[in-house]
């Protein structure tokens, strides 16, 4: 069966520090992978998606970047965090069927 792992679950980071959130998928090959952010009191915004290794598309200009060094690994990064980067980050994958499977999320607080 397919599973998706996302870590860490919570993170508190100072402004200006770097960020690395990791997401891995098991039990599937060549999935489409996605990073979403949910800011406090708001809906979900698609940040990045990837249809293959090293193939990353950005949906919105921002302080973040994404990488996919392996087929089932998707990493969200920042060199210098801003206060506005706080939020709940969700990784998701979509295979050949319809619908997403989401990770459990990372709650990031930038202080």
Partner 1 sequence: GNSVTQMEGPVTLSEEAFLTINCTYTATGYPSLFWYVQYPGEGLQLLLKATKADDKGSNKGFEATYRKETTSFHLEKGSVQVSDSAVYFCALTEIGGTSYGKLTFGQGTILTVHP
Which residues are near partner 1 by CB under 8 A?
A: 6, 32, 34, 42-44, 46, 49, 51, 57, 59, 90, 92, 94, 98-105
**What is the bridge-based pairing of β-strands 32-38 and 101-102?**
unpaired
Return the number of the residue (49 or 74) whose C-beta is nearest partner 1: 49
| Smallest distance from partner 1 to CB 100, Å | 6
Return the number of the residue (9 or 15) whose C-beta is nearest partner 1: 9
| Smallest distance from partner 1 to CB 40, Å | 12
| Smallest distance from partner 1 to CB 67, Å | 17
Return the number of the residue (4 or 75) whose C-beta is nearest partner 1: 4
Task: Judge residue 10's burial from the number of C-beta atoms within 10 Å of its C-beta, 0-12 exposed, 13-18 middle, 19 or more buried.
Answer: exposed
Task: Judge residue 48's burial from the number of C-beta atoms within 10 Å of its C-beta, 0-12 exposed, 13-18 middle, 19 or more buried.
Answer: buried
Structure tokens, 22? 């990791």
Nearest Cα neighbor of 108 from 90, 89, 92 is: 89
């Amino acid at each position: 069966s397919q599973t998706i792992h996302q870590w860490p679950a919570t993170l508190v980071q100072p402004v200006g520090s770097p960020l690395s959130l990791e997401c891995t998928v098991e039990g599937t090959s060549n999935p489409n992978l996605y990073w979403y952010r949910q800011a406090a009191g708001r809906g979900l915004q698609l940040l990045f998606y990837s249809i293959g290794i090293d193939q990353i598309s950005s949906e919105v200009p921002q302080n973040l970047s994404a990488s996919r060094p392996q087929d089932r690994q998707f990493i969200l990064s920042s060199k210098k965090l801003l206060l506005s980067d706080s939020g709940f980050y969700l990784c998701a994958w979509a295979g050949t069927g319809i619908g997403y499977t989401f990770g459990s999320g990372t709650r990031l607080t930038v202080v």
